[in-house]
């Protein structure tokens, strides 16, 4: 977590081949990436995206692939835990995005939750329901797991 309370989430894809790799745009020697892509998304504590930086340092089609990176600033204002994956799929489908950068984005909701969990209390002594409850099947508030580890927040079997 940054001093201003924001969280930077970073994802990178580096595609290296163990042989010289011919591309239409030229030969990539062993050790030279075919792709080296990076995206940083900055979120607030509610998982709303406040900034995005995307780069494509190594690409199969230099000068062309990089032109799409500014489009990823359209993510600003989206929330990582409210329909993010579906929205990203719609926004950057086909020629509207880079398939590899878009795939990197799909891991960010999980990354954000795990990162924020580092800074939150993981017990039932807090005044508010722990963040992780009702966010996965194991921690659904009608489960035995919640009854055992978070009894204050257990709400019983919903089907009874």
Give 23-51 pLDDT, tens digit per residue.
999 999 999 999 999 999 999 988 999 99
Q: Could you tell me which residue, 92 or 159, shows the higher pLDDT?
A: 92
In sequence order, the β-bridge partners of residue 40 are 10, 53
Residue 115: pLDDT over 90 = no
Q: Whole-number mean pLDDT of the chain?
A: 89
**Strand ranges, E, within the chain:** 7-15, 21-23, 26-28, 35-43, 49-58
Greatest Cα pair distance in the chain: 66
Distance of CA 66 to the CA centre of its chain: 21
Q: What are phi and psi of 53, to 5 degrees?
A: -135, 125
Q: How far apart are CA 84 and CA 86, in angstroms?
A: 6
Q: How many CB atoms lie within 10 A of CB 142?
A: 15
pLDDT band at 100 (very low <50, low <70, confident <90, very high): very high
CA distances from 98 to 25, 44, 132 (A): 17, 25, 32
pLDDT band at 160 (very low <50, low <70, confident <90, very high): very low
Task: Sketch out the chain's domains with CATH numbers.
Answer: 7-117 (3.90.1010), 122-160 (no CATH)
Residue 101: pLDDT over 90 = yes
Residue 60: pLDDT over 50 = yes
Helix (H) or strand (E) holding 143: none
| pTM of the predicted protein model | 0.78
- Residue 118's pLDDT is 72
The set of residues, in sequence order, having a beta carbon less than 8 Å from that of 160 and lying 6+ positions away, is none
In sequence order, the β-bridge partners of residue 22 are 27
- Residue 1's pLDDT is 81
Q: How far apart are the first and last CA of the chain?
A: 42
């Amino acid at each position: 977590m940054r001093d201003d309370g924001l969280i930077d989430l970073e994802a990178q894809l580096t595609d290296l081949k163990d042989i010289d790799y011919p591309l239409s745009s030229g030969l990539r020697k062993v050790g030279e990436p075919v792709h080296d892509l990076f995206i940083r998304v900055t979120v607030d504590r509610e998982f709303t995206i406040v900034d995005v930086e995307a780069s494509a340092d190594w690409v199969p089609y230099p000068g062309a692939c990089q032109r799409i990176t500014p489009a990823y600033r359209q993510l600003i204002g989206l929330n990582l835990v409210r329909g993010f994956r579906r929205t990203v799929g719609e926004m950057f489908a086909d020629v509207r995005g880079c398939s590899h950068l878009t795939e990197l984005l799909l891991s960010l909701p999980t990354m954000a939750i795990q990162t924020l969990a580092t800074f939150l209390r993981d017990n039932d002594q807090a005044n508010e329901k722990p963040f992780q409850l009702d966010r996965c099947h194991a921690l659904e508030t009608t489960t035995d797991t919640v009854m055992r580890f978070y009894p204050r927040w257990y709400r019983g079997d919903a089907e009874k």
